[in-house]
């Protein structure tokens, strides 16, 4: 027995010695895999090579968890359901081509090219009969949601990236259970990474109580997630096909200001009524079909309701993006809106890591005399991302943009406005992860009244902000400069 253990020990140490003697060659081999066997943008490749050589072998493990580009067609083959309402799309295309779209509402005419792009690339139909309420306080948003749940008659579909088993979800759950007991159908879709701290037994208990649940990209080995990318970051609620919610709030006590680490949580959520809700329904169902293996499109009870009278006159397109599409739809909308701006651009985002095209477009806007305003948090929830954000904001400060840090808690609001005419808010941050790797959904609203409301909210937020001037930015400490530069090098993979 002793000789056997000695033999095993010697073999182990020889293996370790071989590994250490050949670590350079092993790392080169792994680097070749990154460069030649994964189609990535050059900036992303260089960032990963930096990690591979700074942390040999361990860096490759990070790459497997965070950087591998699983083939989109194979990965999402069962998720690619035809989601275009062909007749409505063709009808709007003809209206645009014949210059008919916008005759009744001239404020959308300047954006007919963007409307066409969203029709063609994303199957997003322009709806013109919507009412919209903006929520910027978590308590108000969830009070409204709970009241809408109480009024539900047929079904309640809920999708969030994060759902915590805490005081907030317990309130919502109690109301959901009451509706289940009265015959209302309830489905909850959650992301496996965002809800990794909620036990499987908890979801099973909800299932036994009549609430159907499904998990998007569950962990491979218990709570070990080998796919840290391709997360479902969408936050969608659809009630009876008539009321929809979309925005930045997840479900957790921090979102109603009960976490001392963050303090007040400043976010933006939209409550919609009208035909735009049908598009939120469609995106929920696509994600549910993929996660639960249940095709809800075949059930007649979910046919879109007919509105007796239009809830409002707000024109909205629901746009979605994710790794199941070759186009970065939300990113492209941001880029097009920035390039169309003539007077002003207002941006709120917790993470500002734009690609070169968007950063260049914003800098060009600054040099063209356009009033560019960017608001970010004053505190990080992800330190690497924060310092990469601060670095990119610095470029805009030096170009003449007005950039601010929000100091009244944590800013999690995600969106932009241009010229007081159009707003685009939802779940997508202005960073590469939201543009390329996560499933996101935004509402683009072609309405001056609602855009000016959102712009007024931005000005109210300025009361709690500190402006980052050129003087402040150039005088930052060496420590901050080093953090910025290091995190910026990693920004393509953050």
- Which active-site residues does the annotation give? 233, 235, 240, 412, 414, 419
Count CA atoms closer than 13 A to 107's CA, side-chain side.
18
Q: How many CB atoms lie within 10 A of CB 456?
A: 11
Closest CA to 350 of 240, 249, 259, 261: 249
Sign, Cα dihedral of 91, 245, 137, 407: negative
Please state the φ and ψ torsions of residue 397, each to the nearest 5 degrees.
-60, -45
- Which whole-number Å values give the CA distances from 144 to 171, 188, 264, 456, in the listed order? 13, 18, 19, 22
Compute the distance between CA of residue 177 and CA of residue 200 in angstroms, rounded to an integer. Answer: 19
Beta-bridged to residue 344, according to DSSP, are 371
Compute the distance between CA of residue 200 and CA of residue 271 in angstroms, rounded to an integer. Answer: 30
Helix, strand, or coil here: 207?
helix
Compute the distance between CA of residue 113 and CA of residue 105 in angstroms, rounded to an integer. Answer: 15
Closest CA to 230 of 202, 192, 178: 192
Inter-residue contact 226 to 66 (CB < 8 Å):
no
Number of H helices, E strands in the chain: 18, 18
For 361-377, letters b (16+ CB in 10 Å) and e give: bbbebbeeebebbbbbb
Compute the distance between CA of residue 451 and CA of residue 461 in angstroms, rounded to an integer. Answer: 15
Count CA atoms closer than 13 A to 199's CA, side-chain side.
4
Count CA atoms closer than 13 A to 446's CA, side-chain side.
25
Inter-residue contact 381 to 368 (CB < 8 Å):
no
Helix, strand, or coil here: 176?
helix
């Amino acid at each position: 027995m002793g000789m056997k253990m000695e033999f095993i020990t010697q073999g182990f140490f020889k293996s370790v010695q071989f590994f250490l003697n050949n670590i350079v060659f092993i790392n080169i081999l792994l680097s070749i895999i990154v460069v030649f066997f994964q189609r990535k943008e050059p900036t992303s490749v260089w960032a990963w090579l930096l990690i591979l050589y700074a942390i040999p072998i361990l860096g490759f493990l990070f790459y497997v968890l965070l950087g591998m580009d699983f083939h989109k067609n194979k990965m999402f083959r069962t998720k690619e359901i035809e989601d275009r309402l062909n007749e409505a799309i063709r009808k709007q295309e003809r209206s645009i081509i014949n210059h008919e779209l916008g005759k009744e509402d001239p404020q959308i005419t300047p954006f007919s090219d963007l409307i066409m792009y969203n029709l063609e690339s994303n199957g997003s139909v322009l709806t013109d009969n919507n009412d919209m309420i903006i929520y910027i306080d978590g308590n108000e948003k969830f009070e409204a949601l709970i009241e809408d749940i109480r009024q539900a008659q047929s079904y309640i579909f809920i999708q969030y990236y994060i759902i915590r088993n805490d005081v907030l979800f317990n309130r919502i759950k109690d109301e959901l259970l009451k509706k289940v007991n009265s015959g209302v159908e309830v489905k909850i879709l959650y992301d496996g990474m965002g809800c990794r701290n909620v036990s499987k037994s908890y979801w099973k208990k909800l299932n036994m109580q009549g609430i159907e649940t499904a998990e998007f990209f569950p962990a491979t080995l218990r709570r070990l997630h080998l796919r840290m990318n391709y997360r479902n970051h969408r936050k969608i609620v659809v009630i009876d096909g008539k009321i929809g919610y979309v925005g930045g709030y997840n479900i957790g006590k921090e979102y109603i200001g009960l976490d001392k680490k963050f303090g007040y949580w400043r976010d933006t959520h939209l409550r919609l009524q009208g035909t735009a809700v049908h598009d939120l329904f469609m995106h929920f169902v696509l994600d549910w079909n993929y996660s639960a293996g249940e095709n809800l499109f075949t059930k007649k009870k979910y046919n879109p309701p007919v509105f007796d009278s239009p809830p409002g006159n707000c024109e909205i397109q629901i746009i979605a993006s994710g790794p199941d599409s070759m186009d970065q739809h939300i990113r492209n909308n941001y880029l097009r809106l920035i390039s169309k701006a003539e007077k002003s651009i207002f941006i709120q985002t917790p993470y500002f890591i734009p690609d070169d095209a968007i950063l260049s477009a914003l800098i060009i806007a600054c040099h063209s005399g356009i009033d560019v305003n960017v608001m970010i948090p004053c505190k990080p929830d992800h330190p690497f991302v924060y310092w990469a954000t601060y670095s990119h904001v610095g470029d805009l400060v030096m170009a003449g943009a007005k950039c601010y840090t929000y100091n009244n808690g944590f800013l999690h609001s995600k969106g932009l406005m241009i010229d007081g005419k159009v707003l685009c808010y939802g779940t997508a941050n202005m960073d590469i992860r939201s543009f390329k790797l996560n499933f996101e959904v935004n509402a683009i609203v072609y309405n001056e009244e609602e855009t000016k409301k959102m712009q007024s909210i931005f000005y109210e937020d300025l009361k709690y902000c500190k402006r980052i001037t050129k003087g402040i930015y150039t005088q930052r400490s060496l420590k901050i400069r080093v953090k910025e530069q290091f995190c910026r090098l990693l920004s393509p993979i953050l």
